[in-house]
């Protein structure tokens, strides 16, 4: 039985606690790296991470890209949408097709 984790700045994620997801507030990057590693190796199948934090933990996140579990998914934080999530989708199109033929115009 797996659980769902949410990582990010406290202000961006405290609401998810009410829904029953496990929230992990992160304030500095190094602590975040360690935390992500611990969560990814724990019983979490899905890890939602705010775009702002994900930008700092790119290296750690890419390690789990090829594994089926956990799925690390970027979500916008309270400070707004950086577009990193959309860029991620475009990137996978680019990886598969060679160039972004679907969403290039957006």
Partner 1 sequence: MAATQVNPTRMELTRQKKKLATARKGHKLLKDKRDELMRQFLDLVRENMALRQKVEAGIQAANKNFVVAKAGMSEETLHTALMAPKQEVYLETDKKNVMSVDIPVFEYKTRTADENDIYSYGFAFTSSDLDDAVKSLADVLPEMLRLAEAEKACQLMAAEIEKTRRRVNALEHVIIPQAQANIKYITMKLDENERSTQIRLMKVKDMMLEETHHYKEKQAAKAQ
**Nearer to partner 1 by C-beta: 19 or 58?**
19
Q: Min. distance of Cβ 30 from partner 1 in angstroms?
A: 25
CB 60 within 8 A of CB 35: no
CB 49 within 8 A of CB 41: no
User: How far are the Cα atoms of 15, 43, 76, 85 from residue 89, in angstroms, in the given order?
Assistant: 25, 25, 14, 7
If one counts every other C-beta atom within 10 angstroms of the C-beta of residue 53, the result is 22
- Choosing from 25, 33, 37, 93, the residue that interacts with partner 1 (CB under 8 A) is 93
- At residue 32, φ and ψ (nearest 5 deg) are -60, -40
- Choosing from 15, 29, 42, 63, the residue that interacts with partner 1 (CB under 8 A) is 15
Enumerate residues 20-79 that contact partner 1 by CB under 8 A: 20-21, 45-46, 48, 65-66, 68-69, 71, 73, 75-78
DSSP 104: T
Q: Which residues bind partner 1 (CB under 8 A)?
A: 1-4, 12, 14-21, 45-46, 48, 65-66, 68-69, 71, 73, 75-78, 80-81, 85-86, 88-89, 92-93, 95-98, 102-103
């Amino acid at each position: 039985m797996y659980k769902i984790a949410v990582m990010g700045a406290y202000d961006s994620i405290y609401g998810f606690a009410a829904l029953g997801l496990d929230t992990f507030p992160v304030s500095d990057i190094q602590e975040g790296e360690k935390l992500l590693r611990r969560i990814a190796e724990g019983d979490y199948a899905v890890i939602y991470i705010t775009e702002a934090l994900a930008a700092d933990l790119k290296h750690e996140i890419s390690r789990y890209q090829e594994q089926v579990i956990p799925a690390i998914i970027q979500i916008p934080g309270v400070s707004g949408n950086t577009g990193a999530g959309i860029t991620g989708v475009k990137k996978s199109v680019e990886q598969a097709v060679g160039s972004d033929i679907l969403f290039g115009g957006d």
